[in-house]
Amino acid sequence: MCTANSCRSQMAEGIVNHFWKDRLEALSAGTQASFVNPLAIEVMKEIGVDIAKHRSKNLSEFDGQNFDHVITLCGDANETCPLYIGTTKKMHIGFDDPAKATGSAEDVRREFRRVRDEMIDQLAQYFLNTA
């Protein structure tokens, strides 16, 4: 979960559903829906993960559903994340927002790639430690 469900949460959903599809299913949402950032789609495609058909979703779309894990990816989502009762494991793993990157087009792409690669590493560590 992230604020706008446009970059970090979309990339995380793609990463989990690609690398751990045999044991996990990820869904992403935001505290406010927006759009899927084209650069997120581009850098995920570079590693063979297609998120082009993803759409930005508001957290309210998942009201009443139970989850094993809820991972917030930005501070705002962590602060506004609803309380989940039961066995839901809530974890905050914060990542910089690549959409806020400045500089040349290549500088911005480099930031998207850096965040993507950091997500792969951090999510792998999290799921290895909670298995």
Which residues have a catalytic role annotated? 2, 74, 81
Tokens 């917030």 appear where? 72
Spell out the residues 6+ positions from residue 114 whose beta carbon is closer than 8 angstroms to its own.
98
In 3D, which of 119, 124, 106, 131 has the Cα closest to residue 51? 119
Euclidean distance between the first and the last CA atom of the chain, given in angstroms as a whole number: 20
Task: Label residue 33 exposed, middle or buried (CB < 10 Å: 0-12, 13-18, 19+).
Answer: middle
